[in-house]
Chain A
């Protein structure tokens, strides 16, 4: 048994038993962050805080929500919204955060792409991040089912139908996923389980992996400089803070991080209190009706680009382009053949590629909401084709890239 002495303070009592000083040093005070970064490096903390808000608001919603096809709609729209004190607050926080978290995820991803923060040892950061994107997408979809309005029902119908895999006609698989021939009680119950337990558990585990993946390569910096963290941290600890290229995670970096978080939270709660409408589709305020398809079915804005990858093509080919769009981004670290982990502005053709990809995904998102005919169809078809072409072109343009 280890040797214990009479504690000199409460801190010492815990420290002898849990090693809290060591934990604090390893996780916070001697976790080193480069100095040459900008506000885009705060997106990770913003995401963590937003996830926390979703968790807390979700816990309060969970106390009154009823996963039953006859009572679910009223438990949300009547009980939570009108009976429960501040029930509206939790619902609006939950709906707005669920939408805004995707905006931040996209900014976080495009920051990583722009600065090349997915290669030279940072591959697992990118891959675990993409897994988180998939898990958050599943979380958003399963949560969208729960109010059991018209959009819940028909999104559930359309998305689960994808699993028949077009020409393969796997209707048995679709019925297995639903637990019925159509979305019904079994369907609502299992998506409720996925939304409040299984997927959140997976997300929390993946966040752990994502943070862990960051530990050895450290975060990138905006100049793509390869920093020797051992040397620089020794300089810092020796007192030469001015010449050291790194700062502590806590409190140095965190103080700036939380300042960005504070600005973000003002924006978020402005939306929660005064502009929550964008996160609540009006069609979903009609209760689910299996015998009437709403006139327009479209997903939430953050799925529109991948939805538009499906739409302009025939069923089977559309499914293939859709699957391509979901899978190809995982391979980014391996499709980018250049060693340059610097800002895209210093990478020649890659800079063109980056902005084309961003504009193309915005165009796809815009077209996903338009009726699929006429000029909108043509633009959607072009944007979807360009998306595929860009990813095919990436290895070719990066293999000829000069060292930056």
Chain B
């Protein structure tokens, strides 16, 4: 009995040491898989909105290795977004980034379904994702499933005529709060 209780204690003592070690090593393993500091530091991009002179033409920029769609809207497009028979009206217009009275779409150009890059069709004024047939209107709102929502808008901060992508400005925070983007 004396022996077995001594063995029991030794077993428990080992268990305690092993548990501490296991928690510690799991933590280290988790942290080792994290993105490196250099990867995180490279996560800011500045774009100048006055560079995008042609409306209804899609420009593709890069941010965190993801494509960023930038498009200036024509006055007709803005009218369509404001029209009362546009069922996406509320969301369409709220997604625009307005600088100096010009309306822009700035969004992450990845299908919100599984991350393919949809193509813009200027003649039809919409986006089509070839992977699973999802569609978006010209403002980036989803019009045909499987994508669950419109294009995500990257965190941005308006500085004069430029945008800093990766930083959260008041306009972006408002979009987050009202559920315009995620």
The answer, yes or no, to whether A161 is at the interface (CB within 8 Å) is yes
Q: Nearest CB to that of A184 among chain B residues? A: B65
Known: A290-B65, A297-B131, A311-B132. A181 touches B33 (CB 8 A): no
Known: A162-B114, A176-B33, A179-B39. A315 touches B148 (CB 8 A): yes
Known: A291-B62, A292-B117. A181 touches B35 (CB 8 A): yes
CB neighbours of B35 from chain A (8 A): 175-176, 178-181, 186
Contact A315 B146 (CB under 8 A): yes
Contact B130 A295 (CB under 8 A): yes
Rounded to whole angstroms, the CA-CA distance of A162 and B115 in the bound complex is 10
The answer, yes or no, to whether B43 is at the interface (CB within 8 Å) is yes
Contact B130 A296 (CB under 8 A): yes
The answer, yes or no, to whether A385 is at the interface (CB within 8 Å) is no
Contact check: which of A161, A315, A371 meets B147 at CB < 8 Å? A315
Nearest Cβ distance between residue B108 and chain A, in whole angstroms? 10
Q: Please encode chain B, from 60 to 100, with 1 for each CB lying within 8 Å of some chain A CB and 0 for all others.
A: 10101111000000000000000000000000000000000
Rounded to whole angstroms, the CA-CA distance of A175 and B130 in the bound complex is 24
Rounded to whole angstroms, the CA-CA distance of A58 and B50 in the bound complex is 53
CB neighbours of B62 from chain A (8 A): 291
Q: Nearest CB to that of A311 among chain B residues? A: B132
The answer, yes or no, to whether A167 is at the interface (CB within 8 Å) is yes
Rounded to whole angstroms, the CA-CA distance of A157 and B65 in the bound complex is 12
The answer, yes or no, to whether B133 is at the interface (CB within 8 Å) is yes
Known: A175-B35, A186-B39. A293 touches B130 (CB 8 A): yes
Contact A314 B148 (CB under 8 A): yes
Rounded to whole angstroms, the CA-CA distance of A391 and B133 in the bound complex is 29
The answer, yes or no, to whether A395 is at the interface (CB within 8 Å) is no
The answer, yes or no, to whether B36 is at the interface (CB within 8 Å) is yes
Nearest Cβ distance between residue B124 and chain A, in whole angstroms? 16
Contact B65 A180 (CB under 8 A): yes
Rounded to whole angstroms, the CA-CA distance of A178 and B145 in the bound complex is 27
CB neighbours of B117 from chain A (8 A): 291-293
Q: Which 10 A-B pairs have the closest CB atoms?
A: A182-B65, A181-B64, A293-B117, A293-B116, A161-B115, A158-B114, A315-B148, A372-B133, A157-B115, A297-B131
25 pairs, CB–CB < 8 Å, chain A vs chain B: A154-B116, A158-B131, A162-B114, A166-B148, A176-B33, A176-B35, A177-B33, A178-B35, A179-B35, A179-B39, A180-B35, A181-B39, A181-B43, A181-B65, A290-B65, A290-B66, A290-B67, A292-B117, A293-B117, A293-B130, A296-B130, A314-B146, A315-B147, A316-B148, A373-B133
